[in-house]
Amino acid sequence: MQSCRTADYTGLSAAVKCFTQRVDGSRVGNVEKTTTKALSEEIKAKARALGFDAVGIAKAEPADPDGHLARWLERGFAADMDYMSRTANERSDPSKLVENASSVIALSISYYHPESEKEAPETGKVSRYARSDDYHKVIRKKIRKLRKFILTLVPEARIHPAVDTSPVLERHWAEKAGIAWIGKSTMAISQSLGTYTFLATLITDLELTPDTAHVDRCGSCTACLDACPPKAFVAPYQLDSNKCITYWNVEHRKPLQDNTPDFAGWVAGCDICQEVCPWNKFAKASTEERFIPRPDLVSPDLLRLSQDPDYAEELIKGTSLQRTGVESMQANAKHVMSEKKK
Ligand code: B12
Ligand code: SF4
Ligand code: SF4
């Protein structure tokens, strides 16, 4: 065991204290296996204490070794989401975001609540992920706290925390770090949480103990592929955004077009490929109070939403649908009303 000072680091395990207090002040990279493991455990414990339901670690190797992302982009499956091709290099290589990246900490948190949307002529449906406070804000706070915690252990570490908007292939890391597998629906699925989870990552130059990648547990099931109304899956594990309802009613944000599919009643997002997934029998109710659904947002009144911009604004205030905007939400409501009349 290396020599170390232990003053001032109350509350941390002996191994980590020793690790962080090396008297020679040498860099973080190659530490003894025991200390690497202790540090990894310390980080995982903190992530759970911050409310994450699952945490795993992967080696920060190239993220798209089989060229899936590259082919998906080549085939135009990103539709008008130009940021996906603009940031393809960063998405496929974590060392583009953190110099000498060594590990990726993958995190997930359940947003599941059992409340189901109403199927009624006068109301639309909002996808579960968008019914509560904006998850970007809730999770960003947690990953920043986790980063700060790691910096108290290893002040010189480089750490890039990310949720959704950073150019990180989040599902790949969840699978590689052993917390989920990528299902045929392309959703990251956890055996104990189902699919209704948000993902986040921290890329770091710290050497941590990697976990084993998750195996695929979809088996012969094809429920998601069969249930998708616009047939957006060109094959298992491959989604063409040009056809996906969520692309059109959340991401598109331009006037709807002739090739816009029916929304199957959804004014924001779509949960059909998740509702039919058998693994959601194991969905665990979220313990994060900011993910409690807003009652008015589960099945909003279509006529009021389409006609009253103030109501629309109030409805989406503080949620992730603020990025979609009032105008698009009203257009979505009109689209759903017209398909209900058919
Ligand atoms: C762009 C995007 C979208 C697009 C495109 C979705 C897609 N499947 O690519 C649209 C707008 C359609 C979308 C929809 C939704 N999204 Co979205 N989206 C993203 C975003 C920003 C990037 C995803 C991406 O990289 N796509 C590129 C493709 C190639 O990657 P992939 O989907 O991960 O695919 C992997 C596999 O399918 C596999 N693969 C690809 N081709 C092939 C071929 C073969 C043969 C094989 C074996 C494998 C394989 O490799 C890929 C890379 O590992 C991520 C956030 C992020 N930074 O990662 C969120 C994210 C994926 N979205 C999320 C959510 C919640 C949703 C919705 C559920 C929202 C809703 N309810 O309406 C839907 C789900 C639709 C679906 N079935 O995917 C969550 C998913 C959480 C989870 N548990 O999986 C994420 C991770 C955001 C977050 N931080 O939580 N989304
Ligand atoms: S979100 Fe809806 S439209 Fe998109 S792939 Fe899933 S079922 Fe199909
Ligand atoms: S519905 Fe079936 S095939 Fe689709 S993701 Fe779930 S288990 Fe896999």
pLDDT of residue 258: 83
Q: Are 55 and 48 in contact (CB under 8 A)?
A: yes
* Smallest CA separation from ligand 1 atom 24, residue: 169
pLDDT tier at 32, thresholds 50, 70, 90: low
Question: How far is it, in rounded angstroms, from Cα 112 to Cα 128?
Answer: 7
Cβ atoms of 238 and 69 closer than 8 Å: no
CA 245 to ligand 2 center in whole angstroms? 6
pLDDT in tens, 247-289: 999 999 788 888 899 999 999 999 999 999 999 999 989 999 9
Residue 164 falls in the annotated catalytic set: yes
Q: Is the pLDDT of residue 150 over 60?
A: yes
Residues above pLDDT 70, as percent of the chain: 90
Q: Give the pLDDT score at 34.
A: 63
Predicted pLDDT at 63: 98
Percent of the chain with pLDDT over 90: 84
Question: One of 164, 262, 301, 308 is an active-site residue; which one?
Answer: 164
Q: Which CATH number among 1.10.287, 3.40.109, 3.40.630, 3.40.50 corresponds to the domain 27-119+128-204? A: 3.40.109
Q: What pLDDT, on the 0 to 100 scale, is given for residue 160?
A: 98
In the predicted structure, residue 12 carries a pLDDT above the cut 80: no
Atom of ligand 2 nearest to the CA of 245: 3
**What pLDDT does residue 330 have?**
97
Residue 122 pLDDT: 94
In the predicted model, what is the mean pLDDT of the chain?
91
Pocket of ligand 3 (CB under 6 A): 183-185, 187, 189, 218, 221-224, 276-279
- Tens-place pLDDT, residues 294-341: 999 999 999 999 999 999 999 999 999 999 999 999 999 999 999 988
pLDDT band for 23, please (50, 70, 90 cuts).
very low
Q: What pLDDT does residue 185 have?
A: 98
> What Rg value do the Cα atoms of the chain yield, rounded?
22
Closest residue by Cα to atom 6, ligand 3, is 277
For residue 244 and ligand 1, the question of a CB distance below 6 A is answered with yes
* Residue 203 beta carbon below 6 angstroms from any ligand 2 atom: no
pTM summary value: 0.93
Question: Quick check: 162 and 146 in contact, CB under 8 A?
Answer: no
CA torsion 324-326-328-334 (nearest 10°) is 140
| pLDDT surpasses 80 at 152 | yes
Q: Which two tokens stand for residue 31?
A: 């530490």
Residue with the nearest Cα to atom 1 of ligand 3? 277
> What residue segments make up the domains of the chain, in order of their start?
27-119+128-204, 223-281+294-341
